[in-house]
Amino acid sequence: KNEVEQSPQNLTAQEGEFITINCSYSVGISALHWLQQHPGGGIVSLFMLSSGKKKHGRLIATINIQEKHSSLHITASHPRDSAVYICAVPKASGSRLTFGEGTQLTVNP
Amino acid sequence: NAGVTQTPKFRILKIGQSMTLQCTQDMNHNYMYWYRQDPGMGLKLIYYSVGAGITDKGEVPNGYNVSRSTTEDFPLRLELAAPSQTSVYFCASSYRGELFFGEGSRLTVL
CB A69 within 8 A of CB A57: no
Residues A82/A48/B45/A43 CA torsion (nearest 10 deg) = 30
Q: Do B106 and A41 touch (CB under 8 A)?
A: yes
Residues A40/A5/A55/A43 CA torsion (nearest 10 deg) = -20
Q: Do B97 and A48 touch (CB under 8 A)?
A: yes
Q: Which of B40, B43, B104 sits opposite A42 (nearest CB)?
A: B104
Mean pLDDT of chain B: 94
- Chain B partners of A97 at a C-beta cutoff of 8 Å? 43, 45, 99
Say which amino acid occupies A32. Answer: L
- Chain B partners of A91 at a C-beta cutoff of 8 Å? none
- Chain A partners of B99 at a C-beta cutoff of 8 Å? 33, 35, 45, 48, 97
pLDDT at B49 over 90: yes
Composition of chain A by helix, strand, coil, percent to 5: 5, 60, 40
**pLDDT computed for residue A94 by the predictor:** 58
Mean pLDDT on B66-84 = 96
Percentage of chain B modeled with pLDDT above 90: 90
Q: pLDDT digits over A48-88, tens only?
A: 998 999 999 999 999 998 899 999 999 999 999 999 999 99
B interface mutation test: which of A56, A63, A99, A103 has the most B CBs within 10 A? A99
Q: Cα–chain-centroid distance for residue A73?
A: 8
Q: Which residue has the higher pLDDT, A88 or A91?
A: A88
- Chain B partners of A45 at a C-beta cutoff of 8 Å? 98-101
Tell me how far CA of residue B101 lies from CA of A11, A28, A67, B83, in angstroms. 25, 24, 29, 25
Percentage of chain B modeled with pLDDT above 70: 99
